[in-house]
Structure 1
Amino acid sequence: MKKKLISVALVSAMLIGCLSACGSSSGQGDNGKLYVYNWGEYIDEDVIEQFEEETGIDVVYDMFETNEIMFAKLAQDTSAYDVICPSDYMIQKLIEKDMIQPLNFTNIPNAKNIGDEYFKNSEVFDPGNRYSVPYCWGTVGILYNKTMVTDPVNSWDILWDPKYSGQILMQDSVRDAFMVALIKNGYSLNTTDPAEIEKATQDLIAQKPLVQAYVIDQVRDKMIGGEAALGVIYSGEAIYTVRENRDLEYVVPDEGSNIWIDSWVITKGSKNVSNAEKWIDFMCRGDIALKNFEYITYSTPNIEAQNNIEDEDIKGSKVAFPDLSTMKLEAFKYLGDSGDKLYNDAWMKVKSAN
């Protein structure tokens, strides 16, 4: 879900010319197509049809399961897609690798509906908010079954309790898995200290015999079906699961967690820039953002949409819209190729351990 050390002044100077070019490039969008790459089950499909009907643009829509899968595909050809929806740290990586382009916000007027606090959090990975527009956001925590867990769930430590052996679900994602172990030990989830990463690695290896499975989307279904007692999950998934199974409850442990933001960006090689701008602007409409939120249950940063939520329980939900000022939260950053290698090598040790 989530480097730029380039000076703001330099980027600003570059942006003046780039935005003008982006807004007027001949042939951009003339073919009536738009190639979108998004997370699985991350949009109301009726929204895609509505966009096509209102604009006359034919959408070719593909889905990915992880940021890393998306990056590998885009690295082969940045023109394969026009608009994509990466997470925070991956947006930072795409900027540093020169794989996405600055946005012309003149052509995205509905971006005004995105709350200031979300753009503020985006500054961590997109200084000046020049490349991205927030789409969904949330936290990562523990989902547990109240009929199966008898202990207080307020610490990541419970995921190492032998009492729940075979009943624990972990995220099959290097950064998310290490986030749990790092924060449990009081470390930053963005650490590049080899000793801290090694400590987290050994903890994850020690935990491995207790883990039923390393999964991603399947956490939701397994927890709803009562197949596990505890699972690491994204807050948006938790909202859905609690609707389906009232025995489930979601908490962000006291030690803290990750706050993530997924945002729309336009690829550097996009052949349909004007259509991509229309797409992002459409997604920022209050009615569309609300429709997507009601369908996917991931928290929307769109203030107009938030104000029009009719379900008072959801509107006041501390899972969907928590008071961020009361929580210890940290966003993922891109740690460079050397940082990636540290974590990937450590993850390989965890996955290959007996």
Structure 2
Amino acid sequence: MKLTFVRKLAVAALVLTASSTVVAEEEKVLNVYNWAEYTAPDTIPGFEKQTGIKVRYDTYDTNDILQAKLLTGNSGYDVVVPSTHYAARQIQGGLFQKLDKSKIPNWKHLDPAIMELVAQVDPGNEYLIPWGYGTNGLGYNVTKAREILGENADLANWDNLFNPEIARKFQSCGISILDEAAQVFPAVLHYIGKDPNSSNADDYRAALDVLKKIRPYIRQFSSSGFIDELASGDLCMVYGFSGDVMIAASRAKEANKNFSIDYYIPKGGAAAWFDTMAIPKDAPHPENAMAFINYIETPEVHAAITNEMFYPNANKSAREFVNKDIAGNPMIYPAEDVAKTLFVIKAQPMNIARLQTRLWAELKAGK
């Protein structure tokens, strides 16, 4: 009797699960959680029109915010876009489900060389597919920067930010740096001749000393808000994402501002990163998520995103649809000699990640 009851309960559970799956598959809903300023105007409307699936689209501006949602569980999101240095730990923690490549036929358009780089954190490319990639470097109001440093000043120089004697010259017109420890510390470590992915706690304390010396001249910590402020002339130097600086440059030009904005990969090297699409383990609509990923990898669709947001993508077939002034810009698509100087930010052990967070809080508090 007891065994029969247990069997019936098991069967009922299976039926309920199957029914729930059918409902989820049939429900025309998709919940996406992505970085701010990261689509073309017709990206989401185009998907909705093509599939009849209604998209709820929310944004964040740091990996820490996304990770908090994922760790809490039951986020309700079907597609998220973590950077690879966070995604590596998230994969290890079982936060994502494997991609069903048979449901992503546009996978064939992905560049094997880029997928090989992503495989460093996602062996076999089982969980992640690139949305965009870029570098972290220096963005300037070039007009103001040359007034401050001189007409022939080298703007592709980390000293402009990390040397306090130079950084203080920018205090009156404003400096902004990314509000994410994992994006900033590697650049400082590289600047002082350390491994940008060091696991030595003393190296991070040395990097903090560098940052503390320029702290009085940092107006804000921002991972996306700096775009409009740089475009409006309220900032004159930022340590930011390549594409975001180029967005600011485009907006300033469209507004007929009397200054120019440009992005520089500092000589000696900078961080390269990948933002990737992933499906949370508890995603309520995984089939719709797969359809969305496949749609994004339509060459014309992904090219439109690159044309709007100035971030390259991993879709080799999309390159022909990317505007020539973007595809030919060496600060967006780095030349081979520059690419060789780039380093990839990697996932850190938890003790180092916690140390970064602690030191970052200390820096922001001005202690």
**Category of TM-score, reference length = shorter chain:** 0.7 to 0.9
- 1:185 aligns with one of 192, 197, 201: 192
Q: What CA deviation, in whole Å up to 9, does each residue of 1:143-196 have, x standing for no partner? A: 122322223123212113132234322112112222332111122222121111
What displacement does 1:91 show? Answer: 1.1
> What aligned pairs does 1:80-159 form with structure 2 within 5 A after superposition?
80-149=76-145, 150=150, 151-159=153-161
Q: How far apart are the structure 2 equivalents of 1:326 and 1:292? A: 24
- When the two chains are superposed, the root-mean-square deviation of aligned CA atoms in Å is 1.8
1:8 maps to none
Determine the structure 2 residue equivalent to 1:270. Answer: 283
What pairs with 1:24-63 in structure 2 (closer than 5 Å)?
28-63=24-59
Aligned position for 2:345: 332
Cα deviation per residue 1:290-324 (whole Å; 9 max; x = unaligned)? 22222222222222221122x32222111221125
- Aligned-residue sequence identity (percent) comes to 26
Distance 1:287 1:157 in 2: 40
Match for 2:283: what amino acid? S
Where does residue 247 of structure 1 map in the other structure? 260
Secondary structure of the corresponding residue to residue 148 of structure 1: helix
Matches within 5 A, 1:166-177: 166=172, 167-177=174-184
**Structure 2: how far apart are the matches of 1:272 and 1:179?**
36
The alpha-carbon deviation at position 27 of structure 1 amounts to: 5.2
- Point out the more displaced range, 133-142 or 69-78: 69-78
Counterpart in the other structure of 2:4: none
What is the total number of aligned residue pairs between the two structures?
329
CA–CA distance in structure 2, aligned partners of residues 140 and 266 of structure 1: 26
Rounded to whole Å, the distance in 2 between the matches of 1:174 and 1:110 is 35
* TM-score where L is the length of structure 2: 0.84
Q: Which of the two has greater helix per residue? A: 2
**Corresponding position of 2:18:** none
Contact 2:187 2:271 in 1 (8 A): no
Report the counterpart of residue 71 of structure 1 in structure 2.
Answer: 67
Task: Give 1:51's aligned amino acid.
Answer: F
1:154 is aligned with what amino acid?
Answer: A
How far residue 209 of structure 1 moved from its aligned partner, in angstroms, is 0.8
Q: How many angstroms does 1:227 deviate by?
A: 2.1
Query: Does structure 1 retain, via aligned residues, the 8 Å contact 2:199–2:349?
Result: no
8 Å contact from structure 1 (residues 90, 334) kept in 2: yes
Alignment of 1:190-339 (within 5 A): 190-243=197-250, 244-245=252-253, 247-309=260-322, 311-327=323-339, 328-339=341-352
Q: In structure 1, how many angstroms separate the alpha carbons of the residues matched to 2:57 and 2:92? A: 26
Query: What 5-or-longer segments of structure 2 have no aligned partner?
Result: 1-20, 254-258
C-alpha deviation, 1:87, in angstroms: 0.8
Give TM-score scaled by structure 1 length.
0.87
Structure 1 stretches lacking a partner, 5+ long:
1-24
Question: Offset at 1:45?
Answer: 4.2
* Aligned residue number for residue 171 of structure 2: 165
* In structure 1, distance between residues paired with 2:209 and 2:73: 37
Residues 105-142 of structure 1: per-residue CA shift (max 9 Å, x gap): 11101022121222122122212211111111111110
Q: Any conservation in 2 of the 1:136–1:298 contact (CA below 8 Å)?
A: yes
**Aligned partner letter, 1:280:** I
Distance 1:191 1:63 in 2: 30
Query: C-alpha distance in 1, partners of 2:74/2:310?
Result: 30
User: Partner of 1:12 in structure 2?
Assistant: none
For the structure 1 residues 54 and 180, does the alpha-carbon distance in structure 2 shift closer, same or farther, using more than 3 Å as the test? same
Helix, strand or coil: the match of 2:94? coil
SS in structure 2 at match of 1:29: helix
Distance 1:241 1:41, change over 3 A: closer
- What is the identity, as a one-letter code, of the residue corresponding to 1:289? H
- Mean alpha-carbon deviation: is it higher for 205-214 or for 219-228? 219-228
Shift of 1:28: 5.0
Counterpart CA distance in 2 for 1:194 and 1:148 is 37
